[in-house]
Amino acid sequence: MDSAGQDINLNSPNKGLLPDAMTDVPVDTVGAAPTPAAEGLTEAEEEELRAELAKVEEEIVTLRQVLAAKERHCGELRRKLGLSALEGLKQNLTRSWHDVQGSPAYKKTQETLSQAGQKTSAALSTVGSAISRKLGDMR
Protein backbone atom coordinates (compact mmCIF):
# COMPACT_ATOMS: atom_id res chain seq x y z
CA MET A 1 0.00 0.00 0.00
CA ASP A 2 1.20 3.52 -0.68
CA SER A 3 1.14 6.38 1.77
CA ALA A 4 -2.40 7.39 0.81
CA GLY A 5 -3.65 3.97 1.85
CA GLN A 6 -4.49 2.77 -1.65
CA ASP A 7 -2.96 -0.15 -3.51
CA ILE A 8 -1.64 1.23 -6.80
CA ASN A 9 -0.55 -2.12 -8.25
CA LEU A 10 -2.85 -2.43 -11.28
CA ASN A 11 -2.90 -6.23 -11.03
CA SER A 12 -3.60 -6.33 -7.35
CA PRO A 13 -6.99 -7.67 -6.32
CA ASN A 14 -7.05 -4.78 -3.84
CA LYS A 15 -6.29 -2.01 -6.34
CA GLY A 16 -7.92 1.26 -5.49
CA LEU A 17 -9.60 -0.12 -2.39
CA LEU A 18 -9.40 1.63 0.90
CA PRO A 19 -8.42 -0.34 3.99
CA ASP A 20 -11.30 -1.51 6.16
CA ALA A 21 -10.72 1.30 8.64
CA MET A 22 -11.39 3.87 5.94
CA THR A 23 -14.52 2.47 4.31
CA ASP A 24 -17.62 4.61 4.04
CA VAL A 25 -18.31 6.30 7.31
CA PRO A 26 -21.68 8.03 7.37
CA VAL A 27 -21.56 11.68 8.32
CA ASP A 28 -23.23 12.50 11.61
CA THR A 29 -26.12 14.75 10.67
CA VAL A 30 -28.00 14.61 13.99
CA GLY A 31 -26.26 17.64 15.50
CA ALA A 32 -25.72 19.45 12.22
CA ALA A 33 -27.57 22.64 11.42
CA PRO A 34 -30.13 22.24 8.64
CA THR A 35 -28.97 23.39 5.23
CA PRO A 36 -31.10 25.82 3.21
CA ALA A 37 -32.36 22.91 1.08
CA ALA A 38 -33.45 20.96 4.19
CA GLU A 39 -35.30 23.94 5.72
CA GLY A 40 -38.09 23.71 3.12
CA LEU A 41 -38.76 20.03 3.78
CA THR A 42 -41.40 18.62 6.04
CA GLU A 43 -40.28 16.25 8.76
CA ALA A 44 -41.71 13.29 6.85
CA GLU A 45 -39.91 14.31 3.62
CA GLU A 46 -36.65 14.73 5.46
CA GLU A 47 -37.03 11.33 7.14
CA GLU A 48 -37.81 9.71 3.77
CA LEU A 49 -34.73 11.31 2.20
CA ARG A 50 -32.54 10.21 5.11
CA ALA A 51 -33.82 6.64 4.76
CA GLU A 52 -33.15 6.69 1.01
CA LEU A 53 -29.65 8.10 1.63
CA ALA A 54 -28.89 5.34 4.14
CA LYS A 55 -30.12 2.72 1.66
CA VAL A 56 -27.98 4.14 -1.18
CA GLU A 57 -24.91 4.32 1.08
CA GLU A 58 -25.48 0.69 2.08
CA GLU A 59 -25.79 -0.31 -1.60
CA ILE A 60 -22.52 1.48 -2.37
CA VAL A 61 -20.72 -0.46 0.37
CA THR A 62 -22.20 -3.72 -0.94
CA LEU A 63 -21.18 -2.94 -4.52
CA ARG A 64 -17.63 -2.14 -3.40
CA GLN A 65 -17.45 -5.46 -1.58
CA VAL A 66 -18.75 -7.34 -4.62
CA LEU A 67 -16.30 -5.53 -6.91
CA ALA A 68 -13.40 -6.31 -4.57
CA ALA A 69 -14.38 -9.99 -4.51
CA LYS A 70 -14.64 -10.10 -8.32
CA GLU A 71 -11.25 -8.38 -8.70
CA ARG A 72 -9.70 -10.93 -6.34
CA HIS A 73 -11.29 -13.76 -8.31
CA CYS A 74 -10.08 -12.24 -11.58
CA GLY A 75 -6.55 -12.02 -10.17
CA GLU A 76 -6.70 -15.66 -9.09
CA LEU A 77 -7.88 -16.76 -12.54
CA ARG A 78 -5.12 -14.76 -14.23
CA ARG A 79 -2.54 -16.29 -11.91
CA LYS A 80 -3.85 -19.83 -12.56
CA LEU A 81 -3.73 -19.18 -16.32
CA GLY A 82 -0.21 -17.84 -16.03
CA LEU A 83 -1.22 -14.42 -17.28
CA SER A 84 0.95 -11.71 -15.86
CA ALA A 85 0.62 -7.97 -16.12
CA LEU A 86 3.46 -7.99 -18.62
CA GLU A 87 1.67 -10.55 -20.80
CA GLY A 88 -1.53 -8.49 -20.76
CA LEU A 89 0.40 -5.35 -21.64
CA LYS A 90 2.13 -7.19 -24.49
CA GLN A 91 -1.21 -8.39 -25.87
CA ASN A 92 -2.70 -4.90 -25.64
CA LEU A 93 0.29 -3.32 -27.38
CA THR A 94 0.25 -5.94 -30.14
CA ARG A 95 -3.48 -5.44 -30.70
CA SER A 96 -3.12 -1.65 -30.66
CA TRP A 97 -0.19 -1.72 -33.10
CA HIS A 98 -2.19 -3.95 -35.44
CA ASP A 99 -5.12 -1.52 -35.24
CA VAL A 100 -2.83 1.43 -35.98
CA GLN A 101 -1.33 -0.34 -38.99
CA GLY A 102 -4.80 -0.95 -40.40
CA SER A 103 -5.90 2.66 -40.03
CA PRO A 104 -6.27 4.85 -43.13
CA ALA A 105 -4.03 7.53 -41.57
CA TYR A 106 -1.20 5.03 -41.05
CA LYS A 107 -1.54 3.68 -44.58
CA LYS A 108 -1.51 7.19 -46.07
CA THR A 109 1.51 8.16 -43.96
CA GLN A 110 3.33 4.97 -44.92
CA GLU A 111 2.62 5.61 -48.62
CA THR A 112 3.77 9.24 -48.38
CA LEU A 113 6.98 8.33 -46.53
CA SER A 114 7.70 5.57 -49.03
CA GLN A 115 7.36 8.04 -51.91
CA ALA A 116 9.51 10.58 -50.07
CA GLY A 117 12.15 7.91 -49.49
CA GLN A 118 12.17 6.97 -53.16
CA LYS A 119 12.49 10.63 -54.20
CA THR A 120 15.25 11.22 -51.63
CA SER A 121 17.11 8.14 -52.84
CA ALA A 122 16.87 9.32 -56.45
CA ALA A 123 18.04 12.83 -55.50
CA LEU A 124 21.00 11.49 -53.50
CA SER A 125 21.90 9.22 -56.41
CA THR A 126 21.87 12.22 -58.75
CA VAL A 127 23.99 14.27 -56.34
CA GLY A 128 26.41 11.35 -55.98
CA SER A 129 26.70 11.03 -59.75
CA ALA A 130 27.31 14.78 -60.10
CA ILE A 131 29.99 14.70 -57.40
CA SER A 132 31.66 11.71 -59.05
CA ARG A 133 31.61 13.53 -62.41
CA LYS A 134 33.15 16.66 -60.88
CA LEU A 135 35.85 14.66 -59.14
CA GLY A 136 36.55 12.87 -62.40
CA ASP A 137 36.84 16.20 -64.22
CA MET A 138 39.31 17.47 -61.60
CA ARG A 139 41.75 14.66 -62.31
Say what the pLDDT of residue 79 is: 86
Question: Between the CA of residue 43 and those of 26, 38, 46, 105, what are the distances in Å?
Answer: 20, 9, 5, 63
Q: Which phi and psi (to 5°) does residue 17 adopt?
A: -90, 145
Q: Are 22 and 5 in contact (CB under 8 A)?
A: yes
- Given a cut of 70, whether residue 6 has pLDDT beyond it is no
101 vs 33, residue with greater confidence: 101
pTM above 0.75?
Answer: no
| pLDDT tens-digit readout, 10-21 | 455 555 454 454
- Cα–Cα dist 91/37, whole Å: 52
Burial class (CB in 10 A: 0-12, 13-18, 19+), 78: middle
What average pLDDT is seen over the chain?
A: 81
- pLDDT of amino acid 49: 95
| Per-residue pLDDT, 62 | 97
